[in-house]
Amino acid sequence: MSVLIPSLLSAGATYALTKKPVPSDQRILDLSNNWLRTVCGHNPQAVSNLYAPDGILVGTVAQRIKVGRADIKTYFDTFLTKQDLCGEFDNHIIQSYEGWAINSGTYTFRWVEEGEQQEVPARFTFVFRNTPAGWLIANHHSSALPE
């Protein structure tokens, strides 16, 4: 559906705004689960491809905020080297809007380090944006749960 609105820049000009679909909760869960499966696949390039080209990652163990796919990949180049790394979602709170959605909740990552099982419960927020290339992660914040 298109709506014509008057331009604020020039009298008489109009612009067509196209309504974007509001994603279902299941769609956002599917996108989130795909991200987790990809992380568990240990392929940094595949993970970074799930982010928008101008995406932002505030990683759980990052020293600084990563901006853009190449920078985000550097985070996963290191993070995904952890032996037997994988995780699971514990809960989700989803908010959906035209063309974008937010998924917040908690997840737990596990891996083996020096023969010992490590476990880090963390909180997350994903902001997904509907782009011409499909639904991509525009912003992802992750931080360890306080003890």
Does the pLDDT of residue 3 top 70, yes or no? no
Residue 102: exposed, middle, or buried by beta-carbon count in 10 A (0-12, 13-18, 19+)? middle
Q: What confidence tens digit (pLDDT) does each residue in 28-58 have?
A: 999 999 999 999 999 999 999 999 999 999 9
Interacting residues of 132 by C-beta distance below 8 A, sequence separation 6+? none
**Phi, psi at 69, each rounded to 5°:** -60, -45
**Rounded CA separation 108/16 (Å):** 44
Query: Does the pLDDT of residue 14 top 90, yes or no?
Result: no
104, 76 contact by CB (below 8 A): no
pLDDT tens track for 110-146: 999 999 999 999 999 999 999 999 999 999 999 999 9
Place of tokens 């000009």: 13
Which residue segments constitute the domains of the chain, with CATH numbers given?
Answer: 22-144 (3.10.450.50)
- The string over 56-75, giving b where at least 16 C-beta atoms fall within 10 Å of a residue's C-beta and e elsewhere, is bbbbbebeeebeebebbbeb
